[in-house]
Structure 1
Amino acid sequence: MIELKNINKYYRNDEESLHVLKDINLKADAGEMIAVMGPSGSGKSTLINLLGFIDTKFEGEYLFEDENLVTTTDDRLSQTRNEMVGFVFQNFSLIENYTVYENVELPLLYNGYGFHQTKEKVMSALEKVGIADKAEKHPRQLSGGQQQRVAIARALINQPKFIIADEPTGALDTHTSNEIMELFKELNHRDHATIFLVTHDPEVVPYCTRLVRIRDGAITEDRAVIEE
């Protein structure tokens, strides 16, 4: 589904050029759940921004389903990002004065759905993550784990081709982290969701099917995760 070929990324200013991604070659098939691990400053966030069509200023090729979308128009790229990628963040990024239902509904409205067309899809997404009974609550009325479930439902709502989860357990306690990782694993197994999970926590790796380790801008390890 995704192929990165000889990707190099530089940040340049007047005085210096910083080489942040170095000769990245990566293939990802539909249905994989890939842990992207690395310390702070390793380049994993840059890699994820590139995968999510947020950053298009790089050298090399990014093929998505055999098409080089990065060379298309900004409008096409924005549409692709909205339709193809679901994002889940460490801090949940929910709108506080919206209900759970409204937070999950929002990407549908961005994509041109009318209010009368959204109910079945929103409730289905909330059911998938186990919080259909929280639809009329506001984020501040929920626990951290419940808020992350809302964020995952929002990421799923447009049935994206893949999900990018950036440190999704970073703000959660151990028990809640395990619950959220079990949910990701279930989505991967049951719905064949393709997931890139960015983390520095080795405890989330066993939930994934593959580990890609990045350090100093280069991939240092790429292997299957063996289920015990």
Structure 2
Amino acid sequence: MIELIDVNKYYESDEESLHVIKDVNLHIDKGEMLAIMGPSGSGKSTLINLLGFIDRKYEGTYLFEGSSLVESSDRLLSSIRNEAVGFVFQGFNLIENNTVFENVELPLLYNHHRHGETKHKVDEVLEKVGILDKAGKYPKQLSGGQQQRVAIARALVNSPKFLIADEPTGALDSGTSTEIMELFKELNLIEGITLILVTHNPELIPYCSRMITIRDGAIIEDKELIS
């Protein structure tokens, strides 16, 4: 599904050039549950911005489903990002004044679905993550784990090709973290969702089938895991 070939990323300033991604070669197959691990400042966030079509200013080749997107316009790349990738963040990023249903519905409306066309799809993903009964609630009425389930449903609602989960349990207690990781594992195994998990927490690694370790912008380990 994804292949990076000799990818380098620099941040330029008037005084210096900072080399933040260094000669990265990486392939990710459909259906994988991959962990990207590394300390703060290792380049994890920059790498997922590249993988998620947010950052297009890099050297090297990015092939998505066999096609290079390097010459794509910003508008096309934005459209591909909205349709192909779902994002789950540590901070949930829910709209407090919208109900659970409305938060999950929003990406469908951005993709020009009409309100009347969205109910079945929203209900389907809310049921998939176990919170259909919370559809009329507001985020502040939910626990942290329930809010993260809303965020996961929102990421899934457009049926993306892959999910990027950036420290998705960072704001949760250990018990709730386990519930969220079990949900991710279920989505991966039963639904076939391709998932890229970004973390510095080694306790999350056993849920994954493969681990990439990045340090100082370079991949220093690529290891298959026994799950």
The TM-score, its normalising length taken from structure 1, stands at 0.99
Counterpart CA distance in 2 for 1:70 and 1:192 is 27
- In the other structure, the counterpart of 1:154 is 154
- In the other structure, the counterpart of 2:225 is 225
- In the other structure, the counterpart of 1:10 is 10
Counterpart CA distance in 1 for 2:185 and 2:24 is 26
Amino acid at match of 2:38: G
Of stretches 68-77 and 86-95 in structure 1, the one that deviates more from structure 2 is 68-77
- In the other structure, the counterpart of 2:140 is 140
Counterpart CA distance in 2 for 1:209 and 1:158 is 25
Amino acid at match of 1:87: F
SS of residue matched to 1:55: coil
SS of residue matched to 2:97: coil
Q: CA deviation at 1:73?
A: 1.0
- In the other structure, the counterpart of 2:213 is 213
List per-residue Cα deviations over 1:149-199 (Å, max 9, x = no partner).
000000000000000000000000000000000000000000110000000
List per-residue Cα deviations over 1:181-225 (Å, max 9, x = no partner).
000000000011000000000000000111000000000110111
Q: Does 1:38 align with 2:46?
A: no
Q: Does 1:181 align with 2:181?
A: yes
- In the other structure, the counterpart of 2:27 is 27
Counterpart CA distance in 1 for 2:210 and 2:143 is 30
Q: CA deviation at 1:69?
A: 1.3
Gapped runs of 5+ residues in structure 2? none
SS of residue matched to 1:118: helix
- In the other structure, the counterpart of 1:202 is 202
- In the other structure, the counterpart of 1:124 is 124
Contact 1:53 1:70 in 2 (8 A): no
Counterpart CA distance in 2 for 1:61 and 1:147 is 36
Of stretches 68-77 and 82-91 in structure 1, the one that deviates more from structure 2 is 68-77
Contact 1:70 1:77 in 2 (8 A): no
- In the other structure, the counterpart of 2:61 is 61
Count of matched residue positions in the alignment of Structure 1 and Structure 2: 227
Q: CA deviation at 1:128?
A: 0.4
List per-residue Cα deviations over 1:46-96 (Å, max 9, x = no partner).
000000000000000000001111311111100000000000000000000
Identity of aligned residues (%): 70
- In the other structure, the counterpart of 1:114 is 114
Contact 1:36 1:214 in 2 (8 A): yes
- In the other structure, the counterpart of 1:99 is 99
SS of residue matched to 1:165: strand
Amino acid at match of 1:172: L
Contact 1:38 1:200 in 2 (8 A): yes
SS of residue matched to 1:70: coil
Runs (4+) off by over 6 Å: none
Contact 1:37 1:211 in 2 (8 A): yes
RMSD: 0.4
The TM-score, its normalising length taken from structure 2, stands at 0.99
Contact 1:53 1:77 in 2 (8 A): yes
